[in-house]
Amino acid sequence: MSQETETACTTCAATAGTETHKSRQYKYRMAVLSASMLVLGIALGFLSANIILIYCVFLASMLSAGQFILPRGARGLMKLRLDMHFLMSTASIGAFIIGAPAEGAAVMFLFFISMLLEERAEDQVRHELEQLIQLEPPSATIKMKDSEACIPTSEVMRGDVLIVRPGGKIGLDGVVVYGETSVNQAPITGESIPVTKIIGDKVYAGTINQEGYIEVEVTSKSNETVLSKIVELVADAKNKKAPTEKLIDRFSQKYTPVMVTLTILLGLVTWILGASPVDATYRALTLLVISCPCAFVVSIPVSIVSSIAGSARDGVLVKGGIYIEQVSKTKTVAFDKTGTLTDGELSVKEVCLHNNFSREEVLITAATLEQMSEHPIARALVDVTKNEDMELRETFGFSAIPGLGIEGKIGDATYLVGNRRLLMEQSIMLDEPSKHSCGVGTLVYVAQGNMHLGTIVLADSLRAGAVEAVRELKSMGIRTIMLTGDSETVAKDIAQEVGVDEYMAELLPEEKVAAIEEISTNGSSIMVGDGINDAPALATADVGIAMGAVSSDAALETSDIALMQQDLRNVPGIIKKAKKTMRIVRQNITLSISVKLFIGIFAAFGLVSLWMAIGIGDMGLTFAVIANALRLVRKNT
């Protein structure tokens, strides 16, 4: 790449976020100023300085932090929506009025610190999304007629050819048309091991070319790539609230007015029982500070969004908090068979030999006749001969027999390859199925003239990790069931091999939907499928999980959760994460309520100061629940 082109790409990659940075830096400076004035005011108090000077210093402390709180509290009052900003503004101003400026300044400063802690927590979760966004290359190098050019990815069109050098980031989704390499797909699929890519293989925007030079024909525009859809889904997921989050929102709207009323009543009762107006007001203000639902309100959304962000890092896209909560209640997981529990591609399982012919002779004969066909059976037969270095022969006189098989000549002999009915119609003698050990699967019969050479058993092989995933689900006490349109015999064989508790075979799409509806009557259900032909069942289940969404646009659209790589072990993984998320939510709710209740009781009897109320009952508690929730952001938690 020329120096000019490299510079252009670097320029394209530059981004700006100075306004947000300046705003945050200003807040930090105000926090330092507020703290400094608070400490200075306390020091002046010990030195018995002029009371007006002390008030002014504490007022400076309060206003430095309060400029971000007081206006919001005033707006809430005008709209009759008494939120936590109103509570803290009232407590701080009230403390100044009754002659406790130190406490008033401390309340405002400490609440401001708790706000910064919340923002910091949101930043960390937002950072996960920004990391995804930053994966999207701003520019790409495209191949021209006699040169190359670096242009913004938004201007690259389908059919353009990208040039990707070793260490470079692939700009858009496409297909390799030249070269061979290995690609780090971890940003998209979560796979830790680089994947080999040769001509004809798909590659994705945001992945990294490890070692070889490749050229990629673009198949998707910048706003249509898998990565852009992932970013959009994760961003949208934050707006789909879990039932617990909605409950907290409704609770918060009614909670604050109730607590303001109780605070006023506490002040009046305390005054009536003999306390001075200052003491009664101070005690009421202390309860007002403790009643601030900051930690309680923040704990749930931070937990849910942290879980969604952490799952995205593991290659699992959750489309909303509602699905995290639903997955945590899972009682049954239903799997589609083809393409989910199995690879979805036929392979030779075994070869039954007849009339003293060898395995190699049977396979070569079948593959020779099938080598010109694109049928899945033909591909499986040709693949096994290639893998075992068998040399195919020439065939002629080839003809297809619809619904039965094919006929062709190899040398002077005529051969037949097809189903059982083909050989029976040709009056070729067959051993009874009970007399040989041909396994369960698709049977392909091979004959020469009137002689049966052998029977090839083709079967869909189990997907790597399927057995482990089912075993782990069962160890968690979750019922597993397989739903398939395949025959009873094939279904039974796969079900036994993978270890599911139950299976249902020969199901039409509408029958799969009915099966899911029945399963869901016994508790929350998950349906795992490929996201295309399983769309109705995925939509019917409480939660639909699509496999290998990196290769299917439909999977991203129809599912509630999408696994970016075809690894079923992510299914028990997301259930464990969902359960942990809801466990942390419950911990945070319990901690918030119990600590505030405990301190509130002491405050009612005048045993807690404003300092303690804000330091422990609000800021300290907020910090604790946020720290607990952010554990969910970590990978593989």
The predicted pLDDT at position 61 comes to 92
The Cα 528–Cα 571 span in angstroms is 8
Q: Give the residue among 279, 165, 152, 246 at the shortest CA–CA distance from 603.
A: 279
Start and end residues for every CATH 3.40.50.1000 domain found in the chain: 321-340+464-574
pLDDT-derived band of residue 178, with 50, 70 and 90 as boundaries? Answer: very high
Pairing status of strand 524-529 against strand 543-546: parallel
pLDDT of 20 > 60? The answer is: no
CATH of domain 321-340+464-574: 3.40.50.1000
At the topology level, CATH places domain 343-462 in: Calcium-transporting ATPase, cytoplasmic domain N (3.40.1110)
The Cβ-side half-sphere exposure at 437, using a 13 Å CA radius, reads 3
User: Which of these ranges, 59-73, 352-366, 428-442, has the smallest mean pLDDT?
Assistant: 428-442
261-291 per-position pLDDT tens digit: 887 888 888 888 888 888 888 788 777 777 6
Instruction: Print the SS3 string covering 423-467.
Output: HHHCCCCCCCHHHCCCCCCEEEEEEECCEEEEEEEEEEEECCCHH
CB atoms within 10 A of CB 8: 18
Q: How far apart (Å, rounded) are the C-alpha atoms in residues 569 and 475?
A: 13
- Dihedral, CA atoms, 198, 200, 205, 209, nearest 10 degrees? 10
Residue 462: what are its φ and ψ, rounded to 5°?
Answer: -65, 145
Of 3.30.70.20, 1.10.300.10, 2.70.150.10, 1.10.150.120, which CATH number belongs to 137-220? 2.70.150.10
* Res. 6 pLDDT band, cuts 50 70 90: very low
Q: Strands of 413-418's sheet, edge to edge?
A: 342-353, 451-462, 442-448, 413-418, 405-410, 396-401
Q: Which segments of 499-636 does DSSP mark as H helices, in order?
A: 509-520, 535-540, 553-558, 570-604, 610-614, 621-629
Q: Is residue 206 within 8 Å of residue 227, measured between CB atoms?
A: yes
Own/partner pairs, 51-59, CB within 8 angstroms, 24+ separation = 54/101, 55/96, 55/101, 58/96, 58/101, 58/102, 58/104, 58/105, 59/96, 59/101, 59/105
- DSSP-based three-state secondary structure for 166: coil
Q: What is the pLDDT of residues 221-253, one digit of tens each?
A: 888 887 777 666 655 645 555 555 556 556 656
Identity of the amino acid at 287: L
Tell me the CA distances in angstroms from 77 to 92, 139, 254, 473, one per residue in order: 15, 49, 15, 52
Rounded (10°) CA dihedral 506, 511, 514, 518 = -10
- CB-side neighbour CA atoms (13 Å) of 123: 9
Residue 526 has pLDDT above 90, yes or no: yes
Sign of CA dihedral 366, 368, 369, 371: positive
In tens, the pLDDT along 289-336 reads 776 666 666 667 777 777 887 787 777 888 877 888 889 999 999 998
Assign 3 a pLDDT band (cuts: 50, 70, 90). very low
Q: State the Cα torsion 228-188-122-223 to the nearest 10°.
A: 0
Give me the sheet containing 561-563, strands edge to edge. 316-318, 561-563, 543-546, 524-529, 330-336, 479-483, 502-504
- Report CA dihedral (31, 35, 36, 40) to the nearest 10 degrees: 150
Q: What angle do CA 359, 362, 367 make, to 5 degrees?
A: 120
Residues above pLDDT 90, as percent of the chain: 17
Catalytic hit among 160, 336, 486, 493? 336
- b/e per residue, 512-539, with b = 16+ CB within 10 A? bbebbeebbeeebbbbbbbbebbbbbbe
pLDDT of 113 > 50? The answer is yes
Whether residue 583 has pLDDT greater than 80: yes
Give the mean model confidence (pLDDT) for residues 543-569.
Answer: 75
pLDDT at 605: 81
Which of 526, 479, 519 lies closest to 500, judged by CA?
Answer: 479
**What are the CA-CA distances from residue 287 to residues 59, 109, 228, 253 (Å)?**
22, 18, 48, 18
Long-range CB contacts for residues 374-378, cutoff 8 Å, separation at least 24: 376/345, 376/346, 377/346, 377/442, 377/444, 377/458
Q: Is the pLDDT of residue 480 over 90?
A: yes
> Hunting for tokens 């591909």 — which residue is that?
379
Catalytic residue check, 336:
yes
5 touches 150 (CB < 8 A): yes
pLDDT at 550: 57
Check: CB of residue 470 under 8 Å from CB of residue 500.
Answer: yes
Domain with CATH 2.70.150.10 in the chain: 137-220
The HSE-up count of residue 578 (CA atoms within 13 Å, CB side) is 24
Per-residue model confidence as pLDDT tens digits over 370-408: 887 777 788 889 988 988 889 888 888 878 887 788 888
Q: How far apart are CA 14 and CA 9, in angstroms?
A: 9
How far is the C-alpha of 115 from the C-alpha of 111, rounded, in Å? 6
* Cα gap 76→88, rounded to integer Å: 12
Could you tell me the CA-to-CA distances from 152 to 137, 142, 209, 379, 486 in Å, in that order? 8, 10, 19, 41, 48
Confidence of residue 188 (pLDDT cuts 50, 70, 90): low
The pTM assigned to this predicted structure is: 0.64
Question: DSSP 3-state assignment of 498?
Answer: helix
